[in-house]
Amino acid sequence: MSRPRRQSAGPAHRTGAAAAALLLALALAGCQTVGIGTLVTEDDELRALASPTNLASLTEVVQRNPNDPQAYNMRGSVYGRAGQYKEAVADFDKAIQLDPNYAQAYANRALAHREMKRLDLALADYNRALQIDPAYAAAYVGRGILRRQQNQSAQALADFNKAIQLKPDHAQAFHNRGLIYQAQGLHKFAIDDFTTAIGLSLNAPEPYYARARSYMALEDYKRAIEDFDEVVGKDQRHLAAWTERGLAYERLGDKDKAAGSYARAMNINQSYQPAVAGFQRVGGQFGRTYQIN
């Protein structure tokens, strides 16, 4: 069989290939529910994909495939990652219109509704997604986060437990279940869950920060500082972490390092009162250089 001769690709061919590659990348990232949520490290790739160029490529895919619900779902996911929630909802609406049993589109639309504070609509979409696919772990996590935010701890805990049962490597489920235990004062259980979340998602600062707060509650300030160090190493502008790091050093009696941490927090937001108050408590002086580590 003869091999066809390679021809130079013109602009249209290159654009089409780029759009196809982008759609494939989104399909791979879309194995989980996508959108905005706490600790969405499993779809970090979408942050890089949420650019005007990629949205234009996805729009071309949609225009060439106007009856493909996946194309709308994928573009809606990127709109959501870019914070364009109205556009995202419109795409998820179209995907659902084309396929009324598209569980992922319901769950993704729920995320967009949650970001827009349309909590009743978000809950209805999560419920519908789970009605269609009772084994959809990401939808349980999404609904659990919504319920946790509404102080429905028992229902949220049940959702996270179910998600973990279905997908034992779901970092977001462990992180959010840990937040419930933390709020209930069950800090050792919380630390166990945060530690698991960290093992599953090493680059996410949130579970380190959460675990540090539980260590603070248990007065284990040295371990708390280790975790705060991880947080600010990953996110140098984490205002709360710098402030609470200062408090941990203050509790250990190291006023110099405490002042240094409070000063870093004030460099981020000079009117942040917990940092200002802490800086004053430890005798901090403006213009002085403080040791951080």
Which domain CATH number covers 258?
A: 1.25.40.10
Q: What is the pLDDT of residue 292?
A: 85
Please check whether residue 4 lies inside any domain of the structure: no
Within 10 angstroms of residue 273's Cβ, the number of other Cβ atoms is 9
Number of domains in the chain: 1
DSSP string, 205-247: HHHHHHHHHHHHHTT-HHHHHHHHHHHHHH-TT-HHHHHHHHH
Does some domain include residue 149?
no
228 occurs within a structural domain: yes
Q: Is residue 118 part of a domain?
A: no
Residue 252 placed within a domain: yes
| Tens-digit pLDDT string for the chain (293 aa) | 333 333 333 333 333 444 445 554 544 444 344 332 333 333 445 555 556 678 888 889 899 999 999 999 999 999 998 899 999 999 999 999 999 999 999 999 999 999 999 999 999 999 999 999 999 999 999 999 999 999 999 999 999 999 999 999 999 999 999 999 999 999 999 999 999 999 999 899 999 999 999 999 999 999 999 999 999 999 999 999 999 999 999 999 999 999 999 999 999 999 999 999 999 999 998 888 888 88
Domain that holds residue 257: 205-293
pLDDT of the residue at 290:
82
Residue 282 lies in a domain: yes
The reply to whether 9 falls in a domain is no
Q: Tell me the whole-structure pTM to 2 decimals.
A: 0.81
Distance separating alpha carbons of residues 158 and 163, to the nearest angstrom: 9
